[in-house]
Amino acid sequence: MKKVLSTVAALGLVAGLASTAAAVEFKMSGKYIVEGYSISDANTTYGADLAGPTSSDAYWMHTLQIKPTMKVNDKISMHGDVRIFKEAVWGDPDSGVSQDDGNTDLDFDKVWMTYLSPIGEFRVGRHEANIFGSKFLDSSTSADRIMWFPSFVPKPWSLLVLTQKNEEDDLEANAADQDDDLYKLMITHTSDAGKAGVEYKYTRSASAATLDGTGEPNSLDAHNLALWGKYKVMDNWTIEAEVNHRFGDQSNAEGTTTVTDWDAWAGMLDVTGKFGALDAGLMYFYASGDSNSLDGDNEAAMSAYGGTGDDFKPLYILTSDHTGILNDDLADFTDAQYAGVAAAGVHAVVLHAKYAVSDKLTLMGAIGYAQADEETQVTNAAGTNFSGGGYANRDDEFGWEYNIGAAYKLLDNLTYEAHFGYLDTGDFFKSAVATDDTNNITLMSHHLTMSF
């Protein structure tokens, strides 16, 4: 803790001296979040089996996020995103996302420079990535990028062109041209009624991480096309929709067969009405499943995108960070009962509402139902297995979920929230014991957020 405070103090001192010496304008914003969770029958280490009470958990975690901005002049500015104790669990000093690299509580998550040039805005450095349009399929992260917003594109249109380095392997011995690179074009249109955009991404990966059994690099040529729009209709209605298509191929080294051809689809539609203090709406989202893992085609959208998105959380349990069912954030699809979720895909419907009781108190709730897109999957030459195991009495139902919550503004920059979720678990999650039954899941959480 002393090291962290010393680091923050040093950063502040350097920024202060720089501001005095060079007339640099320095601003800072951020937030501190303390969260408490209690999860029954779903979680051991950020998502595990549904076997029984031994898989219940209760814990605290916290995150401090600081966003500094240094404006050097009218054309150049520096931006950052520093995380301290990023989703770190109290009493477990080795936990938290910031521990992934270097086992430290301090994570310089993003640092980039903005340059307003005569031909448009450039952003260079480690910038926020993996976001587009709605929260659906978004898993916000950081990536090393060069971004260009050309100034010659007329309003109300805008264009983004970028190149992103996911992995650099040319510096490794005997690793010529084994990098992982991403290229992106995004066009958006803004009007008084709303905003829409189209995004194309191309990922070329020949990194050493995908070496096949011969020691030669595999190649991945992945394309993603996404359409998104959000518009206000008839004053009190808002419609938001997003469609994504992942296509391309991944092949082994010369002399071997094609591993897979991607053909995955995912989409979301949300219609919300505002009636005075009440916001109520109906959402549908979909991710295609893969019915045959032996045919050379992969249609599993959640395998392509890592679930339905870490930032997409319409339901407390099914899309929670802490259960790893449809959300692959703190958990992943490696646990026995969850192993088939990514391959199976999902259809889900959510009825959601939010009511502002006063300028300080807001109530919220949701009811959702989800099921697999593909109930069965061919996994071996012997025949057809249920995706993830072939267990008796399993079906395509993930279950019904019920959520309630409240948020109370203690001060202008201090908010307390409490949430409760209950999942009436479907038979998709039956374990390897054919005669067993699934346990329903409850999740209770509360959150104290201070912003500055």
User: Cα(76)–Cα(299) distance, rounded to whole angstroms?
Assistant: 44
User: Cα(253)–Cα(218) distance, rounded to whole angstroms?
Assistant: 5
For the ranges 167-181, 291-305, 389-403, the lowest mean pLDDT is seen at 167-181
For the ranges 133-137, 163-167, 186-190, 202-206, the lowest mean pLDDT is seen at 202-206
For the ranges 62-76, 117-131, 423-437, the lowest mean pLDDT is seen at 423-437
Over residues 99-117, the mean pLDDT reads 76
Q: Indicate if the alpha-carbon torsion angle 136, 141, 142, 144 is positive or negative.
A: negative
| pLDDT at 215 exceeding the cut of 60 | no
Give φ, ψ of 341 to 5 degrees.
-65, -50
| pLDDT at 186 exceeding the cut of 90 | yes
What's the token pair of residue 6?
């010393």
For the ranges 112-126, 266-280, 315-329, the lowest mean pLDDT is seen at 315-329
Q: Supply the pLDDT for residue 23.
A: 65
| pLDDT at 111 exceeding the cut of 70 | yes
Q: Supply the pLDDT for residue 379.
A: 55
Q: Supply the pLDDT for residue 259.
A: 65
| Residue spans of beta strands (DSSP E) within 106-140 | 106-117, 120-129
Q: Supply the pLDDT for residue 99.
A: 42
| pLDDT at 208 exceeding the cut of 80 | no
pLDDT band at 252 (very low <50, low <70, confident <90, very high): low
Over residues 158-169, the mean pLDDT reads 92
Those residues whose C-beta lies under 8 Å from the C-beta of residue 20, and which sit 6 or more positions away, are none
Over residues 6-24, the mean pLDDT reads 48
**Among 46-50, 400-404, 423-427, which range has the highest average pLDDT?**
400-404
Q: What percent of the chain has pLDDT over 70?
A: 73
Say whether 155 sits in a helix, a strand or coil: coil
Over residues 312-339, the mean pLDDT reads 72
Count of C-beta atoms within a 10 Å radius of residue 394? 24
* CATH architecture group of domain 28-64+169-451: Beta Barrel (2.40)
Count of C-beta atoms within a 10 Å radius of residue 326? 27
Q: Supply the pLDDT for residue 207.
A: 59
The residue with greater pLDDT, 180 or 25, is 25
pLDDT, tens digit, 9 for 90 and up, residues 378-406? 555 544 454 444 455 667 899 999 999 99
Q: Supply the pLDDT for residue 48.
A: 36
What's the token pair of residue 274?
């505002």
Q: Supply the pLDDT for residue 396.
A: 87
Closest alpha carbon to 283 in 273, 295, 272: 272
The residue with greater pLDDT, 24 or 8, is 24
What's the token pair of residue 115?
């340059």
| pLDDT at 338 exceeding the cut of 50 | yes
Q: Supply the pLDDT for residue 94.
A: 65
pLDDT, tens digit, 9 for 90 and up, residues 276-286? 999 999 999 99
The residue with greater pLDDT, 327 or 228, is 228
Q: How far is CA 159 from each of CA 78, 153, 187, 350, 391, rounded to the nearest angstrom? A: 22, 7, 5, 33, 50
pLDDT band at 297 (very low <50, low <70, confident <90, very high): confident
| pLDDT at 16 exceeding the cut of 60 | no
Over residues 340-344, the mean pLDDT reads 81
As a whole number, the mean pLDDT across the chain is: 82
* Domain residue ranges of the chain, discontinuous segments joined by +: 28-64+169-451
| pLDDT at 295 exceeding the cut of 50 | yes
Considering the entire predicted model, what is its pTM? 0.85
pLDDT band at 225 (very low <50, low <70, confident <90, very high): very high
